[in-house]
Chains A and B, each alone.
Chain A
C-alpha cells in the first residue's frame, strides 16, 4: 500500500515535471484517437448504408406461364429450402397487372385490352438475401428449380457494393493500425524523455537494490494517466465532431444512413479509454526496457 502511494506520487511528478512533453503526448494521442475514431465510425456508417442497400436489393424470379397461379405459389416451399434467402414474397400475376396499371397512371389505357384471361405478365417471387456477397451462388440455385422461367437480379450492383465495402474496411483497418503504432511511438518517446532525464536516478536505484518493477511502475502510471486523459478528451471531441458531421452529411446525402452517436457512445468511450490506456502502458513498457540493464 505504501509503495502504491509512492508509485502514483512519482507517476504524477513525472507528468508535471515534463509538462510540455506530457501535453504534447496527450494532444497527439487525442489527434490519433479522433482520426482513428472518425475513420472507424465512417466505416461503420458506410457499412450500415451498404448493408441497407444490399438488403433492399431484390431478386425477382419469374415463373413459367405454363404453371397455374396455384402451382406457381407451391414452388415457394422449394425456394424456402435454399439457404441465404432472407424474405420471400409471392406476387400473383393478376395483382402484378393491377399494380402495373396503377404505376402507369394516365397511360393505363394501353392495358385496357388485358384482363386475367389474357394477362401477359407472369407470376413471380420477390426475394431478399441474407448475405448479398453470395448472390451469384444463390441465383444459380434458384434457376435450377423446375418452373423458373427467368431471374432478374442486379448481381453487378450487389458485387460492386460488396467490393466497395471490403476496400473501405481494409483502408479503415490500415489507418487504425497505423495510427495506433504512431500513438505507441509517441507515448514511448515521451516516457523515454522522462527516463533519460532521470537515468542517473534510475542507475542509483538499480545500484542500491530497487527491483525493476519498483522503477517501472511510476512510468507505467504516467503512461496510463496520459492515456486516460487523452482517451476521455478525445471522446468528447469525437462526440462533437461526429454530431456535426452527421448533421452535414444528413443534409447533403439524404439516403446515407447515419447511426446516432448516442447509440454508439458507450462503445466509443470504452474503445477510446481502453486503447489509450493500452497505448500509454505499451509506450511506457517499450521505452523502459533499455534503461533497466544496469
Chain B
C-alpha cells in the first residue's frame, strides 16, 4: 500500500520538509499522521499523491514508484487514491450529486455506472437528502462529507485526508471521524493527517508522529504525544 524508505524531500528554496522518513502502511489499516504545523505532514501527502517527487529515497504507493514513474502515469496512481482536503475543494456551481459524479466522469466512467454509484456513496455519507443542494447551502460538516463521497466514488484503495476536520466544530469532527472509521471497516485503507490531539486519542488507532520531517514515533493503538 504505502512504503516510504529513507525519504528526503528538499524544496527548490532549500527547505528540507522531509528528512530520511520511513513509513509503512498496509492494506486495511487506519492511520493518523500527526505533528505540529510545519512538521512535514503536508509534504508527505504531496509525495503520496505525486504532487512532488522525493529528493532521495523511495516512495511506493499502491505499487507505483513516485520517484521514478513517468508523468503520464500520475493520473493512474491518483485513480487508486481518494483525497480529502481541509478546505473541501468543492465546485460551488454544481450540486452535491454533480460534484460527486464529476469525479467519476473525469476518469471516463459510463453514465450508467455513475447513476448507480453516486447515490450509493451519498447514502454512505448520509447525504441522500441533500443531493440536489449546492455546496454553499450546506454546513461545513456536510460539505466535508460531500468531499469524502467524491473521494470514495471511484472506489479507491486508499483514502488520504489532509486535516479534514480543520474547519469543523468538535461534534462535527467526531461525526466525520466515525464516518472514516466506517469507511475503513468496509475495507478501504485510511490515512488521516491531523493535529487534533483529542480526536486522535478518542479513536485509539495507529498514530505516526512527525517532527522536523522525521518519523519520531509509530504506535498502534497509540496516543498523540505532545
Q: Which residues of A contact B (CB under 8 A)?
A: 2-3, 6, 200-201, 203-212, 214, 294
Contact = CB atoms under 8 A, between A and B. Distances in A.
Interface in B76-114: 76-79, 83, 89, 91, 102-103, 105-108, 110-111
Number of contact residues on B: which range applies?
20 to 34
A200 B154 contact: no
Given A200-B89, A200-B91, A203-B89, A208 B108 contact: no
Interface of B: 49, 51, 72, 75-79, 83, 89, 91, 102-103, 105-108, 110-111, 150, 154
A211 B89 contact: no
Contacts of B49: 207
Contact of A201 (B91, B111, B154): B91
21 contacts: A2-B108, A2-B110, A3-B108, A200-B89, A200-B91, A201-B91, A201-B102, A204-B150, A205-B106, A207-B78, A208-B79, A208-B103, A208-B107, A209-B78, A209-B79, A209-B107, A209-B154, A211-B72, A211-B75, A212-B72, A294-B51
A10 B75 CA distance: 20
A208 B89 contact: no
Contacts of A205: 102, 106
A210 B102 CA distance: 11
B70 to A, nearest CB: 12
Given A209-B78, A211-B75, A294-B51, A204 B110 contact: no
Nearest to A205: B106
Contact of B107 (A200, A210, A294): A210
In the A-B complex, list the 6 residue pairs whose CB atoms are closest, starting with the nearest. Answer: A209-B79, A209-B78, A210-B106, A208-B103, A209-B75, A205-B106
Contact of B75 (A6, A201, A210): A210
Contacts, number: 49
Nearest to B92: A200
Contacts of A201: 91, 102
A6 B105 contact: yes
Nearest to B80: A209
A224 to B, nearest CB: 21
A291 B128 CA distance: 34
A206 B105 CA distance: 12
B103 A204 contact: yes
Contact of B83 (A2, A3, A200, A207): A207
B20 to A, nearest CB: 27
Contacts of B102: 201, 204-205
B154 A208 contact: yes
Contacts of A207: 49, 78, 83, 89
A196 to B, nearest CB: 15
A48 B78 CA distance: 61
Contact of A214 (B76, B108, B111): B108
A36 to B, nearest CB: 37
Contacts of A214: 106, 108
Contacts of B89: 200, 203-204, 207
Contacts of B150: 204, 208
Contacts of B108: 2-3, 214
Contacts of B79: 208-209
Nearest to B94: A201
Contacts of B78: 206-209
Nearest to B78: A209
B91 A204 contact: yes
B220 to A, nearest CB: 29
Contacts of B107: 208-210
Given A204-B102, A207-B49, A210-B75, 5 more contacts: A208-B103, A210-B107, A211-B72, A211-B75, A214-B106
B76 A209 contact: yes
Contacts of B110: 2
A294 B102 CA distance: 18
A209 B91 contact: no
A211 B150 CA distance: 18
